[in-house]
């Protein structure tokens, strides 16, 4: 894999995740949470009181997507850190595995590839999380 191919793959994965988040967390589908009253304690039960059943279902699917994005991002970051670990201890790994290993430059590309996918998925998950927590416009006045 070369750098251009890796960049295209990262961009395609990030675009697919962003489109999935945009479609699943569209304001028309998930609605807006009611604004919190001043001095009112937050509880889990009053957050979705004014939402339709369809909006509640899409919110659940949205939160599941956030969890999946964060899990996939953690996998990608761990893969990248593993490649970095191998590159850092190259002599020891080469002594054990010999010619079965890819060259050091290719391993550096894999490190950047996995970390870039992980960062893209983390940012997309954070964006989805912010969209799901958005309250109605009345809250901004408080």
User: Along the 142 residues of the chain, how does pLDDT read in single tens digits?
Assistant: 788 999 999 999 999 999 999 998 887 777 777 766 555 555 555 556 667 788 888 888 989 999 999 999 999 999 988 877 777 777 776 676 666 656 767 777 888 899 999 999 999 999 999 988 876 554 444 3
C-alpha to C-alpha distance for 26 and 30, rounded to whole angstroms: 6
Residue 43 domain-assigned (yes or no): no
pLDDT of residue 82: 86
Half-sphere exposure of 24 (CA within 13 A, CB side): 22
Number of domains the chain is built from: 1
Look at residue 67 and tell me if it is in a domain: yes
pTM flag (> 0.85)? no
35: in domain: no
Count CB atoms within 10 A of the CB of residue 96: 9
Residue 87 placed within a domain: yes
Tokens 């970095």 identify what position?
84
- Whether 76 is in a domain gets the answer yes
Instruction: Quote the domain boundaries for residue 104.
Output: 3-29+50-131
| Backbone CA torsion sign across 45, 46, 47, 52 | positive
């Amino acid at each position: 894999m070369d750098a251009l191919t890796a960049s295209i793959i990262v961009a395609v994965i990030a675009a697919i995740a962003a489109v999935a988040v945009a479609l699943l967390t569209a304001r028309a589908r998930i609605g807006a949470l009611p604004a919190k009253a001043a001095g009112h304690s937050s509880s889990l039960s009053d957050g979705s009181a004014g939402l339709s059943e369809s909006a509640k279902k899409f919110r659940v699917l949205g939160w599941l997507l956030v969890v999946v994005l964060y899990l996939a991002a953690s996998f990608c970051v761990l893969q990248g850190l593993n490649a970095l670990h191998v590159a850092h201890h190259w002599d020891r790994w080469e002594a054990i595995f010999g010619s079965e290993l890819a060259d050091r430059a290719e391993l550096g590309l894999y490190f950047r590839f996995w970390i870039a996918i992980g960062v893209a998925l983390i940012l997309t998950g954070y964006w989805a999380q912010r969209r799901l927590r958005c309250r109605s416009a009345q809250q901004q006045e408080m």
